[in-house]
């Protein structure tokens, strides 16, 4: 299995990992589950500043609370874990099969220019290859293919999630549009009802109310039979129709 991850580690923890005392490495994040198992390169920070070995990580568990269950395996106290988590979910990387290199390696050995602050994927590794390494790569060909398949699956999953999020956003936008249209329809209905009541009220000035009722779609402030103007202010100030801010009544 080719190296998938490079992880920065304080020098004090590496001996504990080698001797099996520390079997959980606590981080705030972890690779996508489909990438496991992983071969993790260990970069020791200052003063070493070199890649000194590697280990295998089969999975990374999510932990929130109940830190007493992982204190022994992580070599950390509950108070330290609680402070590091800060109320959020943390990941416990399972450490197995640690290997110490005979000679520490520079970052350039793997084509890396700068060490990660916590960890990062190791893409397009340029690790030097001799005959022994070539045989190892050929024997691990199936594992490498499976790893690439997992990467493609993970990419597909992320694309589907992004599409689902976009669809959800578009659905919410459509819902808001429908709410706006429904509101406009209610306002138009109330407007029509108020207009009808207003015209009916204006026609009370004469006994020929039916003529005005027949001309509701031709609004006028004059009596349709006697051509009498409505008295100024009559039933207009209290009419619901005018609250819709229609043009002022012509004089």
Residue corresponding to tokens 């990467």: 151
* Token duo for residue 210: 């039916």
The whole-angstrom separation of Cα 5 and Cα 38 is: 7
Q: pLDDT tens digit string along 197-233?
A: 555 555 444 434 443 443 444 444 444 444 445 454 4
Instruction: Give one DSSP letter per residue of 161-173, joined into a string.
Output: HHHHHHHHHHHHH
Comparing 1-5, 45-49, 103-107, 223-227, the range with the smallest average pLDDT is 223-227
pLDDT band at 62 (very low <50, low <70, confident <90, very high): very high
pLDDT band at 146 (very low <50, low <70, confident <90, very high): low
Q: Is the predicted pLDDT of residue 64 greater than 60, yes or no?
A: yes
Write the CA distances from 151 to 1, 22, 38, 61, integer angstroms: 14, 29, 12, 20
The whole-angstrom separation of Cα 86 and Cα 3 is: 31
Q: Is the pTM of this model over 0.75?
A: no
* Token duo for residue 169: 């956003």
Q: pLDDT tens digit string along 150-209?
A: 667 777 777 777 787 777 778 888 888 888 888 887 877 776 666 665 555 554 444 344
| Dihedral over Cα of 166, 150, 62, 44: its sign | negative
């Amino acid at each position: 299995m080719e190296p998938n991850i490079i992880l920065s580690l304080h020098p004090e923890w590496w001996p504990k990992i080698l001797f099996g005392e520390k079997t959980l490495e606590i981080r705030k994040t972890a690779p996508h589950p489909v990438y496991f198992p992983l071969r993790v390169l260990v970069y020791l920070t200052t003063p070493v500043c070199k890649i000194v070995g590697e280990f295998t990580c089969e999975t990374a568990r999510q932990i929130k609370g109940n830190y007493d269950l992982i204190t022994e395996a992580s070599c950390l106290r509950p108070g330290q874990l609680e402070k590091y988590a800060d109320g959020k979910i943390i990941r416990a990387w399972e450490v197995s099969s640690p290997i110490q290199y005979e000679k520490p390696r520079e970052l350039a050995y793997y084509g890396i220019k700068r060490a990660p602050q916590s960890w990062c994927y190791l893409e397009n590794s340029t690790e030097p290859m001799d005959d022994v390494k070539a045989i190892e790569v050929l024997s691990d060909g199936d594992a490498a293919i499976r790893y690439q398949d997992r990467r493609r699956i993970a990419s597909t999953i992320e694309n589907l999630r992004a599409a689902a999020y976009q669809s959800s956003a578009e659905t919410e936008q459509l819902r808001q549009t429908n709410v706006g249209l429904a509101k406009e329809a209610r306002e138009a209905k109330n407007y029509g009802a108020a207009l009808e009541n207003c015209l009916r009220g204006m026609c009370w000035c004469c006994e020929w109310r039916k003529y005005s009722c027949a001309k509701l779609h031709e609004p006028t402030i004059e009596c349709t039979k006697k051509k009498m103007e409505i008295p100024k202010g009559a039933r207009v100030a209290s009419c619901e129709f005018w609250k819709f801010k229609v043009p002022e009544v012509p004089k």
